[in-house]
Amino acid sequence: METTLQPELQGHFETAQARIAAATSAEELRAVDRDYLDKGGVVAGLLAAIPTLPPEQRRGAGQGANQLKTAVLGAIDVRKAELEADAIQAARSGKGFDPTLPGTPMRRGSLHPVTRVTRELEDIFSSMGYGILDGPEVEIDAFNFERLNIPSDHPARDMHDTFWCKVDGAERDSDMGLLLRTHTSCVQVRAMEKLKPPFRVVVPGRVFRQESVDASHEHTFHQMEGLVVGEGLTVGHLIGTMKTFLREVFQKEIEVRLRPGYFPFVEPGFELDARCPFCETVGAGCKVCKQTSWVELCPCGMVHPSVLKLSGIDPEKYTGFAFGLGLSRLVMLRYEIDDIRHLMGGDTRFLSQF
């Protein structure tokens, strides 16, 4: 251990340090503590001698004694921690057990940032009168595609590079129509099957795509679907809802823009983008928005009449709007995470920050 001790105290410290390094028990360390730091110990002796020194030496002598005290205490603490770690190691490997030593410290867990934001959004949407729905991650082709106006020959299928499930007896994986859902929109169909209009629901969940992974694309990520069906709903209701929930999430106005977007199950369809908060801090070269200053956040639109009809809802009477929030991207914005791969990477150094 390095010290800045006055030269005349170095000898005391070296002697103490040799005893400390050789100590193999807490009792031996306590003995060093007693000999150096207790009443009648070396440090107390140095302090007691101060009044006998010439006045100009007293201050320095007091500082020296305190430095020696700190150095000996520090060395004792370090050795104590080493002995405790050795004992824990020995106990784990079954060699000996010292009941006087502290137990293995428990590490406190915390909620995953995706769980945190999901719960927060659920609270926001619940307060707006939405129900929370769930759906299976292994889905049938009919719900993931067909009933959303995406038949098997539709080019929109290329937008979702699908993980098909292997089913015994099928020639190709896709033949049995079982897949890992590529979006939460499939739960729109389940909702329309299950609920009678008017209704409003959100569906948080994990989705899967065969993506080339980069800072903003994962193969496994989270979305939150929203679906509202009722009489007289318009694009105005959709935009109002989007603005309200973003304000609630960020506790301030977030600049957004709507672009036309194509999704076979909505008409008209939009892409809602949020202003990238990273560019301000990162400057040029921002990886999240790829220097566009906008983050693609939430495609949305009015439910296509054919989709309502396929689920037995009269499109003459009812209209609806839907949105597919990129939940993982929202988590990144919320916690200023610059790489989506941290979210599912399972690195506890990252997760323990939340």
Estimate the crossing angle of helix 26-37 against helix 55-92, to 10 degrees.
170
Least separation in angstroms between residue 132's CB and ligand FA5 is 17
Nearest approach in angstroms of CB 282 to ligand FA5 is 19
Rounded to the nearest whole angstrom, what is the least distance from the CB of residue 227 to ligand FA5 in the complex? 8
Q: Encoding tokens for residue 114?
A: 């995706």
Query: Tokens 């709507």, residue?
Result: 258
Nearer to ligand FA5, 69 or 222 (CB): 222
Question: At its nearest, how many Å lie between ligand FA5 and the CB of residue 165?
Answer: 19
Q: Minimum distance from CB of 141 to ligand FA5 (Å)?
A: 15
Nearer to ligand FA5, 58 or 217 (CB): 217
Distance in Å, CB of 2 to ligand FA5, minimum:
50
CA–CA gap between residue 24 and residue 16 (Å, rounded): 14
- Interface ranges with ligand FA5 (CB under 6 A): 183, 185, 209, 211, 217-218, 221, 223, 263, 266, 269, 296-297, 299-301, 322-324, 326, 328-329, 340
Q: Which residues contact 254 (CB under 8 A, 6 or more apart)?
A: 246, 247, 274, 275
Q: Whole-number minimum distance, CB 248 to ligand FA5, in Å?
A: 18
> Nearest 5 degrees, angle CA 89-CA 93-CA 97?
70
CB under 8 Å to 213, separation ≥6 — which residues?
Answer: 219, 341
Instruction: Name the closest residue to ligand FA5 (Cβ).
Output: 326
Distance in Å, CB of 280 to ligand FA5, minimum: 20
Nearer to ligand FA5, 64 or 205 (CB): 205
Cβ distance to ligand FA5 smaller for residue 20 or 298: 298
Smallest distance from the beta carbon of 270 to ligand FA5, in angstroms? 8
